[in-house]
Amino acid sequence: MNIIYFGQEEWEKEYVVGKLAGNEVTFVLGSLENNPDVRDDGAEVVSIFVNSRMGAAEFDRFPNAKLIATRSTGFDHIDIAEAKKRGITVASVPSYGVNTVAEFAFALLLALSRRICEASNRVKEAGSFSQANLEGFDLAGKTLGIVGVGHIGVHTARMARGFDMNVVAFDAHQDETLAKNIGLAYVSLPELLGMSDIISIHVPYLPTTHHLINNESIKQIKRGAYLINTARGAIVETGALVQALQEGIIAGAGLDVLEEEGDMADELKLLTAPHPSEAELKTVLANHYLMTHPRVIITPHVAFDTREAIKRILDTTAGNISGFAAGKPENVVK
């Protein structure tokens, strides 16, 4: 098949070409947005990452495309309705980072609970070994509330039990056998928010989860709780999080994703646009508040980013493409 692959790093080229031997692979470094002039009338497969948004204009750049192979679990960066209208199949990578993302969520939590970033910065930037105001808190005995008990949420729950934490969970689909085996209790979202010392987000981004944590629900959060988000930024309403931090409802947050993080990367364009979106401007400004808050840790959407996880992504993507070519599509987005 004729494949155009928008890669993140140069090393991917040799790996992917090897996995897809017998196909014609065009490797392009960077996202669709970073390569606006790239068009391919012959490409049957377009492989992208989450930093490439695929809507009608992008589909027009690849008029012969039959498959969009996204190298991600989420697919909210792709206009699925537009793909269906054009008869284009979309395939994703549903479970490459089960342990990887869960481990990163705990990395953020441990950094917050033991004030690791503050302690390290004090030594490196001030040359001070003072222990003043670096008191942390134990995870053992605390209640972790997991929002979304999919593959990553389940692994997070298992890790929490290893830390001797209590685990409660909210999910639209409850598996009581799983809950018994792991040792978690299903509760409603308001109950989870009210009883959790730490809340960890693991739901996919869908219309039903947009601003799941919002100005109203955030008032239900146990005072002094911590929020971890390694899922999607728009699941949490940024203004509500800022208000909760200002009022002391939330004591701190570990965020690998931000709402409108794409705009954060191109602020000048947003600010100088003839008719900038007021909502987007407010979100960008709120994100700046989060970036300077002493008890907020922000990382640049890297929870997935280990060599092992990336190879699992590439292997699954190659399998998705090969399966499609053989008339046996796998991991198709419905």
Q: Is 14 labeled as catalytic in the residue annotation?
A: no
Domain count, the chain: 2
pTM of the model: 0.87
Question: Taking the CA atoms of the chain, what radius of gyration do you get in angstroms?
Answer: 21
Half-sphere exposure of 13 (CA within 13 A, CB side): 8
pLDDT of residue 282: 67
Which tokens go with 284?
């960008």
CA distance 278 to 263: 13
Q: How many CB atoms lie within 10 A of CB 46?
A: 25
CA distance 93 to 246: 38
CA distance 207 to 196: 25
Task: Say whether both 248 and 122 belong to one domain.
Answer: yes
CA distance 12 to 318: 12
CA distance 133 to 137: 12
Q: How many CB atoms lie within 10 A of CB 278?
A: 8
pLDDT of residue 305: 92
Task: Say whether both 125 and 198 belong to one domain.
Answer: yes
Q: Which position among 12, 232, 260, 312 bears the catalytic label? A: 232
DSSP 199-232: EEE-----TTTTTSB-TTGGGGSPTTEEEEE-S-
Q: Going residue by residue through the chain, which has 334 residues, state the pLDDT in tens, using 9 for 90 and above.
A: 999 999 999 999 999 999 999 999 999 999 999 999 999 999 999 999 999 999 999 999 999 999 999 999 889 999 999 999 999 999 999 888 899 999 999 999 999 999 999 999 999 999 999 999 999 999 999 999 999 999 999 999 999 999 999 999 999 999 999 999 999 999 999 999 999 999 999 999 999 999 999 999 999 999 999 999 999 999 999 999 999 999 999 999 999 999 876 544 444 443 444 544 566 666 777 778 899 899 999 999 999 999 999 999 999 999 999 999 999 999 999 8
Task: Say whether both 194 and 312 belong to one domain.
Answer: no
Task: Say whether both 84 and 162 belong to one domain.
Answer: no
Q: Which domain holds residue 7?
A: 2-92+307-325
Task: Say whether both 155 and 292 belong to one domain.
Answer: yes
**CB-count burial class (<10 Å; 0-12, 13-18, 19+) for 275:** exposed
pLDDT of residue 271: 40
- Residue 333 maps to a domain: no
CA distance 61 to 93: 24
Q: Is 232 labeled as catalytic in the residue annotation?
A: yes
Q: How many residues does the chain have?
A: 334
Residue 235 is classified by DSSP as G
* Buried-state track 141-157, b at ≥16 Cβ within 10 A, e below 16: ebbbbbbbbbbbbbbbb
- Residue 15 maps to a domain: yes
Task: Say whether both 26 and 112 belong to one domain.
Answer: no
CA distance 8 to 125: 32
Task: Say whether both 16 and 144 belong to one domain.
Answer: no
pLDDT of residue 261: 64
Distances (CA, A) of 73 to 101, 274, 319: 11, 35, 15
pLDDT of residue 266: 47
Q: Which position among 12, 237, 260, 261 bears the catalytic label? A: 261
Contact 47, 5 (CB under 8 A): yes
Q: Is 301 labeled as catalytic in the residue annotation?
A: yes
Task: Say whether both 196 and 54 belong to one domain.
Answer: no
CA distance 320 to 316: 6
For residue 219, how far is the Cα from the chain centroid?
Answer: 24
pLDDT of residue 288: 83
Task: Say whether both 117 and 39 belong to one domain.
Answer: no
Element (DSSP H or E) covering residue 234? none
- Residue 75 maps to a domain: yes
Which tokens go with 324?
């499609």
pLDDT of residue 70: 98
Task: Say whether both 102 and 85 belong to one domain.
Answer: no
Q: Residue type for 242, please?
A: V
Q: Which position among 33, 267, 301, 330 bears the catalytic label? A: 301
Supply φ then ψ for residue 232, to 5 degrees: -140, 145
- Domain CATH number, residue 47: 3.40.50.720
Task: Say whether both 107 and 223 belong to one domain.
Answer: yes
Task: Say whether both 67 and 139 belong to one domain.
Answer: no
